[in-house]
Amino acid sequence: MGFTQNPHKLLVIPGPIEVADEVLLANASASVSHVSAGFIGIFGETLEMLLKLLYTSVETGSQAFVVSGSGTLGWDMVAANLVEHGEKVLVLSNGYFGEAFRDCLEAYGAEVDILSAQLGHTITPTELENHLQETKITYKLITITHCDTSTGVLADAKGLAAVASRLSKDSLIVLDSVCSVASEEIRFDDWNLDVVLSASQKGLGTPPGLCISIASDRALKTSRLRKGSATQTSFPKVKEAVEKKLGLKQLSVNQQSSANGMTAIYLPESIPPGDVIGKMLKKTW
């Protein structure tokens, strides 16, 4: 049986992305009971494949989660399961989404320190090392935004995780990789990661609606020992529309920090965004 999508304009945003005909056809399957033997088999295989994608497995104690919701639901899952009121968290921010992760953690009662990179840059392993050596703070969590879609930069997750593991061994390392899972290299076990957050509609190439996460054995034990009861209720804020003069200049300032999955650009100051968007629409971009 074949299937071809209706003609449409090419969707070129960080996510949701274009979905292959084969994926949409599979998604057209009849509804099944979520407790049926058939679904349990499919779901179990899906969890195993997600672990394999990130170079980890149940043998090392890792657990994959697929939950109905947006990628940012992962922030709530981290805060609700891993942080107690008043505990210290360090957020490494490369743009808007790092700052929004901070806001979520603070809403759950965490005391958050944030290292913010200049626009178009990322927090480097050296900057993290200097901060940890100077402050001597034992953080409950250290969060890394792998690829921030507000700037299009890619953090050195491997290097940052190595520094965190060496200088803050008791800290859980959380990688916010909504835009980088399946489009950038992530090695969960080798990099000593404790949580990886993602979503269905970006590098995984499927329709939106699912929050994807992987938790280490250490993270699972932390959740079980948490004093308060965890919830996953999310009341996401509506993002304010901010008019900026963006242009045809990449926000990422060097090749090493450019993400494979997306590009963020400035528009020339003399050209209104509507003019460029209109021309792109005419070209079906």
| Domain assignment present for 83 | yes
Least Cα distance to 277 among 240, 248, 242, 235 occurs for: 248
DSSP 196-241: EEEETTSTT-S-S-EEEEEE-HHHHHHHHH-SSPP-----PPPPPP
Query: At 245, is the pLDDT very low, low, confident or very high (cuts 50, 70, 90)?
Result: very low
| Domain extent at residue 181 | 22-225
pTM confidence score: 0.80
Residue 168 lies in a domain: yes
User: Could you tell me the two tokens for 39?
Assistant: 């679904």
Q: What's the chain's Rg over C-alpha atoms?
A: 20
Return the minimum-mean-pLDDT range out of 16-30, 199-213, 243-257: 243-257
User: Is 161 within the bounds of a domain?
Assistant: yes
How many structural domains are present in the chain? 1
Q: Does residue 236 belong to any structural domain of this protein?
A: no
Q: 240 pLDDT exceeds 60?
A: no
Q: What is the per-residue pLDDT across 66-94, written as a single tens digit (0 to 9) for each?
A: 999 999 999 999 999 999 999 999 999 99
pLDDT of the residue at 258:
64
- Provide the pLDDT for residue 283: 62
Structural domain includes residue 49? yes
Domain CATH code at residue 108: 3.40.640.10
Does residue 198 belong to any structural domain of this protein?
Answer: yes
Query: Which pLDDT belongs to residue 244?
Result: 34
What is the average pLDDT value for the chain, to the nearest integer? 86
Q: What percent of the chain has pLDDT above 70?
A: 83
The DSSP line for 17-55 is: ----HHHHHHHTSPP--TTSHHHHHHHHHHHHHHHHHTT
